[in-house]
Amino acid sequence: MNSIAFIFTQAPHGSSAGREALDAVLATSALSDDVALFFIGDGVLQLTAGQQPEKILARNYIATFGVLPLYDVSQCYLCAASLAERGLSADAPRVLNAEVLSSDALRERLAQFDRLLTF
């Protein structure tokens, strides 16, 4: 079975990309044992704790990240440079445990996957 990496590049709630990526992750996890999530660029904002999307009349799909361990999705990675560019701490609370990697380490990890899906 192919290993699949999902790359989140969009901020939450500004478009449907994050929600669609999460739906794809949940569907794919039923078919593959080797699924990983990568958060790059504005995608690092997806895991920010304490979001209040209801204030902008958006659906709160962020809580769904919390069920990923039940689907055996445990490989989650955040780009350290993207966090720094957005003034976010690597130690900040998040809705999902994720390993913070340097850009080089992130590229090396991505190269280990057969398929890359970018949202």
What pLDDT, on the 0 to 100 scale, is given for residue 37? 98
Residue 35 has pLDDT above 90, yes or no: yes
Give the number of C-alpha atoms closer than 13 A to the C-alpha of residue 98, restricted to the C-beta side.
Answer: 33
Q: 79 in helix, strand or coil?
A: strand
What pLDDT is stored for residue 56 in this prediction? 86
Identify the pLDDT of residue 54. Answer: 86
Going by pLDDT thresholds of 50, 70 and 90, the confidence category of residue 72 is very high
Position 1 scores a pLDDT of: 73
Average pLDDT over residues 35-53: 95
Provide the mean pLDDT of the chain. 94
pTM for the full model?
Answer: 0.93
- Domains of the chain are 4-118 (3.40.1260.10)
Per residue in 74-104, pLDDT (tens digit) is 999 999 999 999 999 999 999 999 999 999 9
Q: What is the mean pLDDT of residues 45-74?
A: 90
Rounded CA-CA distance 17/42 in Å is 12
* Strand residues in 4-97 grouped as ranges (E): 4-8, 35-39, 75-79
